[in-house]
Structure 1
Amino acid sequence: MHISKTILAPFVAAALSCAAFAGVARAETTDQVVLDKTITKDQAAAALVPAKFNGKLRLAVSAPYAPWMYFDDKNELTGIEIDVVRAVAAKLGVGITFDNLKFEGTIPSLQAGKDDMIAAGMGDNPKREELLNFVNYTTLGLVVLVRDNDTSINGLMDLCGKSVSRINGDVFGPWVEEQLQPKCASLGKKKIDVRTFPDPNAALLAVKSGSVNSEITGLVSATTVLNSKENAGQFRIIRPDNSPRGWKLANGGFAVLKGETELTKAIETALKSMKAEGTLQAIAAHYGYPDVIIDDIVVNMPAPAGDIGNIE
């Protein structure tokens, strides 16, 4: 089992502790410049956007969740997913508004007709696909984040009998219940005490304070924690030797309601154009995570083939 204490990327998430927009505050933008690059309208993609949206998409986001989305030192929303969705909007020739919500509130917001699209670092899974279409452009991996001075956890099975934090509505909690809990039982060990928190900051603070032993989270988010100045030297990452990206690899990206076939195709076309131009790769590299972009933009494909890591 590989245990990393090394800073894995140069990005520093200075805004992990920034306050989110109050309530359902919205900020409208028609930006067409991303990372100093002018993003031009893609006529083929733009033609696919249904007229009912009136040239504007309402986005459900969930910040802060660095490096996907967070508030910079000017309290402006930024991050990988934010830059990507701004570029997508430019490709589609539409304006966008941001509706900052708790993560578990993003899907209900679409169902209630308050928002049109989720851009919240959401992973694709079969359960979510019952309600949503995903246009995936990233590959996510699960890791365990522990305090650096906690020597009792060095692998997944060390979580048996220990407490683990996770975010309400994430893809990781079900994996613990379906994969790890039975393994703990088969080894005659105690169950993992899974504790659910409303947002990433709360889940991390529980580990940092010592009230919870560990956190199940994504590799990118865990690396961001390691790289942040306020957390320097306080945490380490546990991940499998045979899968450097982590366990339970899942694709992730933007989500719309299941019936929005044309909008799904429009987003897919825009992302494919951005991938061909190198825009997606440039955005990910800017934040220090060039490897998160998947090889092919895909719709409704929860996991890449193989490479899920050994849970032993």
Structure 2
Amino acid sequence: MQSTITRRTLLTGAGALAALAGLGLAGCSGQDAGAGSTAASGDLLETIRDRGEMTFATEGTWSPWTFHNEEDELTGFDIEVARAVAAELGVEAAFAEGEWDGLLAGLDSGRFDTMANGVSVTPEREEQYDFTEPYAYNRIVVIAMEDSAIASLEDLDGMRTANTLGSSYATLAESYGATNTGVDDFNQTIELLEQGRIDATLNDEVVFYDYMNAHPDAPLKIAAENAEPTHVAFPLRKGEETAALREAMNEAIDTLRADGTLASLSNEFFGIDITSAS
């Protein structure tokens, strides 16, 4: 595992964004999650093009993936990738903000076309959704207090963790025997951790370094990490309705990877390129 100092240096640009955004605290509430029905019949790609916009569900409070900057403008790696994908499809990107569970429910019901929120591809989710090809490869880490004895994922057995219910982080923690407490966002998780109400939390490596850049005195560390990176992709409802859309989005992702757009956005928001599997 690389040292905190090395990766913090790499993430200086993203950390500055996080500091300006107040770590997404200016984000909208879950009330926006039902905005704008995108339910369609037949070919969703055709419907989106007729509509002239594609609706992406997002939290808006999870820097540097999706957050509000100092001008209260929604931005972040996922947001800018979504805008680039929509542009490749010849439409505008629209965003509906809310809490994680509401985003999934909205996708299921057809209120949103997809999600732009660092969605990890898992076997359980693949049973429910069709995913595009990955546009990022992310490493999950265990975040704990500096004096924590946790040194591996196996050490989570019997521990108290906190993550958004239904997230891949909560699922992974529970698979190692942890008891998970549901939270609304990363900031609430850190509060519980620093108050001693939980033993650890799981999140993205890049989110941890982004937070540490904005809070350099926080007594936190990466205690362990998942060996294999998770694949981040756009989820779509299963069925023939989304088949053409998925193909078009895959072509867009291929184009954005080939022309360097994905790598450029990753470096802008993370300070490193996480858009390649290698």
Q: How high is the TM-score relative to the length of structure 2?
A: 0.84
1:225-248 per-position Cα deviation (integer Å, ceiling 9, x unaligned): 2221x35342111235xxxxx335
1:74-109 per-position Cα deviation (integer Å, ceiling 9, x unaligned): 111111111111111111110121100111121210
Q: Which runs of 5+ in 2 are unaligned?
A: 37-42
| Bigger share in helix | 2
How far apart are residue 70 of structure 1 and its match?
0.8
How far apart are residue 27 of structure 1 and its match?
9.9
Aligned to 2:126: 129
Q: Given the alignment of the two structures, is residue 20 of structure 1 paired with residue 2 of structure 2, yes or no?
A: no
Task: For 1:84 and 1:7, locate their aligned partners in 2 and report how far apart those are by CA, in whole Å.
Answer: 26
Bigger CA drift: 17-26 or 210-219?
17-26
**Of 74, 81, 90, which residue of structure 1 is paired with 2:87?**
90
Larger Rg: 1
Q: Tell whether the 8 Å contact from 1:7 to 1:227 is kept in structure 2 after alignment.
A: no
Which AA in structure 1 matches 2:137? Answer: T
Q: Tell whether the 8 Å contact from 1:69 to 1:77 is kept in structure 2 after alignment.
A: yes
| Bigger share in strand | 1
**How many equivalent pairs are there?**
258
Q: Superposition pairs for residues 1-312 of structure 1, below 5 Å?
A: 2=1, 4-6=3-5, 8=7, 9-10=11-12, 11-12=14-15, 13-14=18-19, 15=21, 16-22=23-29, 23-24=31-32, 50-53=45-48, 54-135=51-132, 136-148=134-146, 150-178=147-175, 180-181=176-177, 192-228=178-214, 230-240=215-225, 246-259=226-239, 260-295=242-277
How far apart are residue 3 of structure 1 and its match?
7.8
Q: Which runs of 5+ in 1 are unaligned?
A: 29-47, 182-191, 241-245, 297-312
Q: Which secondary structure state, in structure 1, belongs to the residue aligned with residue 142 of structure 2?
A: strand
- CA, structure 1 residues 3+267, in 2 after alignment: closer, same or farther (shift >3 Å)? closer
Which AA in structure 2 matches 1:24? Answer: D
Q: How high is the TM-score relative to the length of structure 1?
A: 0.75
Task: For 1:274 and 1:94, locate their aligned partners in 2 and report how far apart those are by CA, in whole Å.
Answer: 16
Q: Tell whether the 8 Å contact from 1:26 to 1:98 is kept in structure 2 after alignment.
A: no
- CA, structure 1 residues 122+130, in 2 after alignment: closer, same or farther (shift >3 Å)? same
Report the identity percentage.
26
Aligned to 1:306: none
Which AA in structure 1 matches 2:245? Answer: L
Which AA in structure 1 matches 2:183? Answer: F
How far apart are residue 289 of structure 1 and its match?
3.9
Q: Which secondary structure state, in structure 2, belongs to the residue aligned with residue 59 of structure 1?
A: strand
- CA, structure 1 residues 26+80, in 2 after alignment: closer, same or farther (shift >3 Å)? farther
Aligned to 2:40: none
